[in-house]
Amino acid sequence: MKTIIFAILMAGMMAQAWSQELYDYKTPRESQDWCTISIKTKPSDGPDLPLVLLIGDSITVRYSSEVGTALRNKAYVSLLGTSKAVGDPALLDEIKLVLRQNKYAVIHFNYGLHGGIEGFRNGFSDVIAMLRSYAPNSKLIWGTTTPRRQKDGVPDKGVQDRNKIAAEHVAKAGISTDNLYDLVANHAKDLWDGGGVHFTAEGTALQSKQVAQHIESLLPKPMTGPAKDLATPPALPNLSPGQEYADKVRKYQGVPGLERAANGRLWAAWYTGGRDEDRQNYVILTTSSDDGKSWQTVLVLDPDGDGPLRAWDPCLWHDPTGKLWVFWSQERMGPITMGDNNKRGIATIATFAITTTDSGKASPEWTKPRLISHGVMLNKPTVTTKGQWLMPIATWGNRLSDRVLTSSDKGATFTELGATGTPDVNARAADEHIIIERKDGSLWMLVRGNFQREQKPATYIGESVSKDGGKSWTDVTPSTIPHPVARFCIRRLASGKLLLIRNNPPDGKTRSHLTAFLSEDDGATWKGGLLIDERDQVSYPDLVQAGDGSVYLIYDRERKGAREILMAVFKEQEVMEGKISSDQSRLRVLVNRATGDRYPK
């Protein structure tokens, strides 16, 4: 985060202000005047978040850092802290200095007990005029002045008088009020420190929380849809795909997703077409009514054939109501050039979805494609114990690329909840994050990447934690789980254990030895180790658990070689034992194989 800090400490009466002329002021000043300015703006590789400005005295300074933490990933918070009083012309110059540097979405301002009551009365309108003049489009919040500790519960009349004066002005100007006075005055505890003016850590935290919540309520609504160069139009479901989509003509395929209906019907999707990750990619959706012995194509999602739009990274998910969601991403790509087909020239990436309430049927009715957000969502959403949906959507190239969208109305609407990322640009690699709710209520995000630990040759999965329901997250740092740079899969089973599917190669780097592990302590340690497939280029697992406890796993093998989509079925106990022991369990079940020429003739 780009930060510019000015610290001005003036001993005694300030003899000179910003201009060469001396101030002719009558407002009393402190014996030691001070001014602290901290400007925070978007870093070169950071997300486009709104700017927020806090203006106030030492009370504001004390809670400013906590407000910045609370609004992390939502806004960049700057500070103008000053001992100048309302009515002092130097205060107006300090405000002007800050407002001339940036445009702020929200400004929260508060002035305490500095200066006299008459200066406050006569000068408050000048402060509002200055804010309106230099920040005409900013949303303003007046924070009422907090009281001093009073004996025997007697109200602080001096502060009440100031707040009454301010209330008249802000009401007339249509400015929102943040009632910090009542927050601390009516609290059951004594929140003041020994001096009786400033507050304890608890009192400061209480104020910072309310200030952050008030500011957040006025921030511009986050963009959940793509920008101008949207990767549209979305692909329409092709329910009768022709021979141009047949196995015998497909040259490349991988990245599968899997779901299972209540009646046992299986659904599998992956992307294919083209010869690599290119503009000819499309998504294919298949189904099986015989537990995976045979599969039939249901539909194809192809935006524009050989045009510049590509459909890819499908995600299948049954929500708590039983509705089946088919998510996929689209992006606009440049022309294909032999030997140079991975240079994308991306304008915008977007995630779309179709749904059906009849996933138990072979040919259900589907909704029209719907835009979910900009970015890519490869892995299944998480539903918390409180019923909140958490959607892991990545926006590559941003500092906070691991975004979390949320829905509290069963998917009718989605809003931005929070985001995180790693400050290590060398560790970023497609994200593909997954969210787990731990038993203590915290959220654990695991992220694909090139994360490394000291003196370790292998790469590791990245991790981040949220303790406020997904609003704020720690930076993504290396976990203790080794894994090559590839997708992995983790889900909580009905037993409460965590099931992790990851590559476990001897060299720690290749996409081989796809293995299942269990954790009984929310990921602190892992047990078992069922080897699913030891061959090279087996990757990108996705899973679903059936009602009888069986785990259905899907993955790909050799996207340009064997071009296989494979499935495995196993029991939780078999993971712990490290071997298959049930007649119902199966490994390396073929779902689909593409057999087209490797390269176009």
Q: What is the dihedral of CA 417, 481, 534, 382, to 10 degrees?
A: -20
Q: For strands 459-466 and 489-492, give the pairing.
A: unpaired
In a domain, 112, yes or no: yes
Are 565 and 558 in contact by the 8 Å Cβ rule? The answer is no
In a domain, 499, yes or no: no
pLDDT per position as a tens digit, 432-449: 999 999 999 999 999 999
| Total-model pTM | 0.69
In a domain, 14, yes or no: yes
Instruction: Give me the domain span that covers residue 68.
Output: 2-218
- Residue that terminates a domain, selected from 192, 218, 244: 218
Give the pLDDT confidence score for residue 21 in this predicted structure.
Answer: 54
Give the pLDDT confidence score for residue 218 in this predicted structure.
Answer: 83
- Phi, then psi, of 62 in degrees rounded to 5: -65, -35
Long-range contacts of 179-187 (CB under 8 A, 24+ apart): 179/144, 180/110, 180/143, 180/144, 180/145, 180/146, 180/207, 180/210, 180/211, 181/144, 181/145, 181/146, 181/147, 182/144, 183/146, 183/207, 183/210, 184/146, 184/147, 185/146, 185/147, 185/155, 185/156
In a domain, 115, yes or no: yes
Query: With a cut of 70, which residues of the chain have pLDDT below it?
Result: 1-28, 153, 221-230, 334-347, 455-457, 598-601
Cα three-residue angle 265-267-271, rounded to 5 degrees: 165
In a domain, 274, yes or no: no
Q: Give the Cα separation of 309 and 231 in Å (integer).
A: 7
Q: Give the Cα separation of 33 and 38 in Å (integer).
A: 17
User: Which DSSP category does 424 fall into?
Assistant: -
- Residue that terminates a domain, selected from 486, 516, 541: 486
Among residues 367, 335, 365, the alpha carbon closest in space to that of 352 is found at: 367
Q: Give the Cα separation of 468 and 465 in Å (integer).
A: 9
CATH number of the domain bearing residue 60 = 3.40.50.1110
CA distances (Å), origin 341, targets 149, 277, 280, 306, 495: 70, 7, 11, 14, 45
Among residues 562, 561, 581, 560, the alpha carbon closest in space to that of 570 is found at: 581
Residue 592, SS3 per DSSP = strand
Report the domain count for the chain.
Answer: 2
In a domain, 304, yes or no: no
Q: Give the Cα separation of 211 and 109 in Å (integer).
A: 10
In a domain, 241, yes or no: no
Kindly report the length of the chain.
601
Q: For strands 296-301 and 489-492, give the pairing.
A: unpaired
Cβ atoms within 10 A of the Cβ of 81, count? 21
- Residue that terminates a domain, selected from 193, 218, 243: 218
Q: Give the Cα separation of 301 and 313 in Å (integer).
A: 11
Cα three-residue angle 438-443-448, rounded to 5 degrees: 110
In a domain, 223, yes or no: no
